[in-house]
Amino acid sequence: MNATHETRARFTDADARTLLAGLAARWDAGDGHGYGELFAPEATYVQFNGVLLNGRQEVADMHDLMFRTMLYGTRLIAHEIESVRQVGEDCAVVVSTGAALYPWQKEVTPKRLSRQTLILERRDGRWLITGFQNSRIKPFPTSGPLFEVASRAVRLRVDRARRSA
């Protein structure tokens, strides 16, 4: 390697923990605009309920509103980092689980747990979130009596629709 080629550090689990801790610190402080600063100006953010936010400003404004209302007093728990993958020199993908807890809640329950996918881009030596998808974890049953009944009902409706088409 020649001396003029800059080597860039890989994005690691420790980097992911630091980034998630930064999100949690701003969340816990109720700082929507500080939370938004961790996102790229053109970031996309999909909330757990499917609402799409476009850009850092929308992310900041929505979180500012939510921290003053429905998420007032909550703290963000980063539960587990499931994967960290660097894609090229300046892009990484992090998948983690976590939850927002209200002061009266002591632990993350399965009902409150969400999975987040973060797409990160390094800009001027700083990692910014360019994409964020947050989804509640609600496993779909793949066996058992309820699954069998639901599968038969779907098959009947599909077959009926195909016959009438």
> How far is 47 from 73, CA to CA, in rounded Å?
19
E strands present in the chain: 39-46, 52-54, 75-86, 91-101, 114-123, 126-136
Q: What is the mean pLDDT of the chain?
A: 92
Q: Which segment, 7-16, 92-101, 134-143, is predicted with the most confidence on average?
A: 92-101
Domain extent listing, the chain? 13-140
Task: Say what the pLDDT of residue 155 is.
Answer: 93
> How far is 101 from 112, CA to CA, in rounded Å?
8
Could you read off the pLDDT of 99-109 as tens digits, one per residue? 999 999 999 88
Give me the CATH code for the 13-140 domain, please: 3.10.450.50
How close are the terminal C-alpha atoms of the chain, in Å?
65
In order, the DSSP letters of 102-128 are -TT--S--GGG-EEEEEEEEEETTEEE
Q: How confident is the model at residue 7 (pLDDT cuts 50, 70, 90)?
A: low
Q: Provide the CB-side half-sphere exposure for 28 (13 A, CA).
A: 12
Q: With beta carbons less than 8 A apart as the criterion, state whether 118 and 124 touch.
A: no
88: left (phi over 0), alpha (psi -120 to 50) or beta: left
Q: Is the pLDDT of residue 56 over 70?
A: yes
Where do we find the tokens 């728990």? Answer: 77
